[in-house]
């Protein structure tokens, strides 16, 4: 083979390696495309779900606050739990359908319900446990709580320490309970379309799962093969040592 042919072949391999390297780097970059066509981002009021824990404070705009106190949840960890039927149970007024409402909608409903018992009432509602579970290839997996009730998938992944090098950025799964249904959403962190996704803004108790990319799978396979080879080697050494010991003692 001539020198010129060798140089041509070397250049082809070099360019192929560079192209492969560029493609690999793209898998680690967020928001690579689609940003120019993005619409204005508007965060929405979160919808109350089953198992949400709500802190509800009722006030009277009159001098008599005693009537209002009976409706308020008290204590840092106490509140009204939204039951499996989607209701909360308040004194005197009884069960109130809560799941599927926003805080603003529930506030208006509660004012209507307690007005016969409290003069000129005001109602303050907040989520006591806005919790997101982040699992998989993140640096700090687990349950993460937020003091605000407007949490995005970026907030959740940031709280989890961002993705590891083995995280699949092109396919992050969000699992959400909606009424009696469980829905699955797939998000590509490399695309600006993320900001228009129905799960860009998370709901309480959402699960964010980051799967492993092909590099992690290759690493697992390599380690598995290495362990098998080591095990075979140790077994062979043990068998040979036993045979040598037996031959030596027989002689």
Contacts 24+ apart (CB under 8 A), 92-95: 92/117, 93/117
Residue 131 has pLDDT above 70, yes or no: yes
More confident residue, 15 or 130: 130
How far is residue 241 from each of residues 9, 39, 227, 250, measured CA to CA in Å?
50, 72, 21, 14
**pLDDT at residue 200 greater than cutoff 50:** yes
Average pLDDT over residues 169-175: 94
Mean pLDDT of the chain: 79
Whether the per-residue pLDDT at 160 is higher than 90: the answer is yes
pLDDT of residue 19: 47
DSSP string of 211-232, one letter each residue:
EE-HHHHHHHHHHHHHHHHHHH
45-87: pLDDT as tens digits: 888 988 888 999 998 887 667 767 778 876 555 889 999 899 9
For residues 140-168, average pLDDT:
93
What pLDDT score was predicted for residue 163? 94
How buried is 224 (Cβ within 10 angstroms: 0-12 exposed, 13-18 middle, 19+ buried)? exposed
Three-state DSSP class for 84? coil
What is the C-alpha separation between 150 and 130, in angstroms, rounded? 9
7 vs 99, higher pLDDT: 99
pLDDT above 70: residue 91? yes
* Pair 172, 17: CB distance under 8 Å: no
Does 37 have pLDDT greater than 90?
no
- Using 50, 70 and 90 to split pLDDT, how confident is the model at 112? very high
pLDDT at 6 over 90: no
What angle (nearest 5°) sits at the alpha carbon of residue 245, between those of residues 244 and 247?
65
Judged against a pLDDT cut of 70, whether residue 21 lies above it is answered with no
pTM of the model: 0.67
* CA-wise closest residue to 30 among 168, 132, 224: 168
Per-residue pLDDT tens over the stretch 216-250: 666 665 655 556 665 666 666 666 765 665 566 66
Q: What is the pLDDT of residue 209?
A: 97
How far is the C-alpha of 24 from the C-alpha of 20, rounded, in Å? 6
Q: Rounded CA gap, 28 and 26, in Å?
A: 5
Burial class (CB in 10 A: 0-12, 13-18, 19+), 162: middle
Q: What is the mean pLDDT of residues 6-12?
A: 48
Strand, helix or coil for residue 94: strand
Residue 14: what pLDDT?
Answer: 45
Least confidently predicted of 47-56, 121-130, 171-180, 223-232: 223-232
């Amino acid at each position: 083979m001539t020198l010129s042919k060798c140089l041509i072949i070397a250049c082809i391999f070099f360019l192929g390696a560079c192209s492969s390297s560029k493609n690999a780097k793209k898998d680690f970059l967020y928001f690579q495309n689609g940003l120019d066509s993005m619409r204005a981002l508007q965060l929405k009021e979160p919808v109350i779900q089953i198992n949400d824990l709500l802190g509800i404070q009722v006030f009277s705009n009159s001098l008599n606050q005693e009537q209002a106190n009976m409706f308020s949840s008290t204590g840092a960890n106490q509140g009204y739990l939204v039951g499996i039927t989607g209701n909360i149970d308040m004194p005197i007024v009884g069960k109130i359908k809560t799941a599927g409402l926003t805080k603003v909608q529930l506030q208006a409903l509660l004012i209507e319900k307690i007005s016969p018992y409290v003069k000129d009432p005001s109602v303050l509602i907040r989520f006591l446990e806005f919790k997101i579970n982040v699992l998989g290839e993140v640096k700090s997996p687990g349950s993460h709580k937020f003091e605000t009730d407007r949490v995005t998938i970026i907030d959740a992944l940031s709280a989890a320490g961002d993705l590891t090098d083995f995280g699949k950025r092109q396919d992050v799964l969000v699992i959400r309970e909606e009424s009696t249904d469980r829905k699955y959403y797939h998000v590509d962190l490399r695309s600006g379309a993320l900001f228009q996704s129905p799960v860009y803004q998370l709901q309480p108790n959402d699960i964010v799962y980051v799967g492993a990319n092909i590099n992690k799978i290759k690493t697992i396979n390599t380690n598995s093969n290495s362990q098998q080879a080591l095990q075979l080697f140790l077994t062979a050494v043990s068998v040979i040592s036993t045979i040598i010991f037996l031959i030596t003692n027989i002689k």
